[in-house]
Amino acid sequence: MLCCAYMTKLQFLRALAALVSLTVVSCGKKEAGTVVVLTGSSTIAPVISDVAKRYEAANPGVRIEVQSGGSSRGIADALSGTADLGMASRALSADEAAKLTAHQIAADGVCVVVHRDNPVSELSREQLIRIYTKTATNWKDFGGSDATIVVANKAEGRSTLEVFLHYLGLDNADVKADVVVGENLHVINSVVANPNTIGYVSIGTAASESKGGTPIKLVSTGGVAATTENVANGTFPITRPLNIVEDARTSPAAKAFLAHLTSPAINDIIQKHFFVPVN
């Protein structure tokens, strides 16, 4: 009897453990349904992170997870379902647009940056082509000091690279880079570390860093100052949309967050990051 009673108790404990495990798994699935994952553009990611904090406070049952990695990653992850929404700081190609829907939340420009102590404050498209193809290699050719120009380029898969090279009419193979980096802040760090470096980044990111005291200068392009105002009025020559992309499988939680992202409710955050609201 003692043996039987013991076995009965053991069986009961095993059954109870199985029930608890099932309950945990079930709860885990329910919680996973309230997590919205966004991946992609490092330009857009800081904006979405700030929006997410406010959104989560107003919607306690929802968690927003934001990961950067470049626009190409955001588009690929949205297509594969790895992410609920993708962040892309460029327009979709025809092939991409056949599979995804883009929702513009803001406008941005791509600007050239140099160190604050660099005398050069303006460069034309033709001068930028000479610098990035290394047919000119000294700052003195552009009104600067007698110093070799260090060219920083963006890595493949970054929309900033695609937008900038499209403006110059170059392929990436044409660029003779000394430094290849990914994130906007990596470019800015390269410029800060070596005053002879030239790079290009989001106007919003550059303006924010400059205002915060980072020793960089936003270079005028084609005679037009690199400012948010000139992006808004359409005079700056290198502009791009900041998009959130989705496919047909978007979850209700992601749809709700997307509706928030495309509403005027986030315009103050967009402006805080020196981008131009469009909604």
Among residues 201, 125, 116, 187, the alpha carbon closest in space to that of 150 is found at 187
Query: The pTM is what?
Result: 0.80
What pLDDT is recorded for position 13? 34
What pLDDT is recorded for position 22? 34
The yes/no answer on whether domain 108-232 falls in CATH 3.40.190.10 is: yes
Pick the CATH number of 33-107+242-277 from 3.40.190.10, 3.40.50.10540, 3.50.50.60, 3.40.50.300: 3.40.190.10
d(CA 35, CA 14): 32
CB contact at 8 A, 85 and 41? no
Give, as one character, the DSSP assignment of residue 236: S
Distance of CA 130 to the CA centre of its chain: 28
The strand pairing partners of 39, in sequence order, are 67, 86
Work out the burial of residue 19: count CB atoms within 10 Å of its CB; fewer than 13 is exposed, 13-18 middle, 19 or more buried.
Answer: exposed
Q: Does this chain's domain 33-107+242-277 share its CATH topology with 108-232?
A: yes
What pLDDT is recorded for position 44? 96
> Which residues of the chain register pLDDT less than 50?
1-33
Q: Domain residue spans in the chain?
A: 33-107+242-277, 108-232
d(CA 104, CA 26): 36
CB contact at 8 A, 151 and 135? no
What pLDDT is recorded for position 12? 40
Per residue in 225-250, is it b (16+ CB within 10 Å) or e — as a string?
Answer: ebbbebbbeeebebbbbbbbbbeeeb
What pLDDT is recorded for position 39? 98
Work out the burial of residue 252: count CB atoms within 10 Å of its CB; fewer than 13 is exposed, 13-18 middle, 19 or more buried.
Answer: exposed
What pLDDT is recorded for position 250? 94
* Strand ranges (E), the chain: 35-40, 63-67, 85-88, 101-115, 122-123, 150-154, 179-181, 197-202, 216-221, 239-246, 276-277
d(CA 271, CA 213): 18
What pLDDT is recorded for position 157? 86
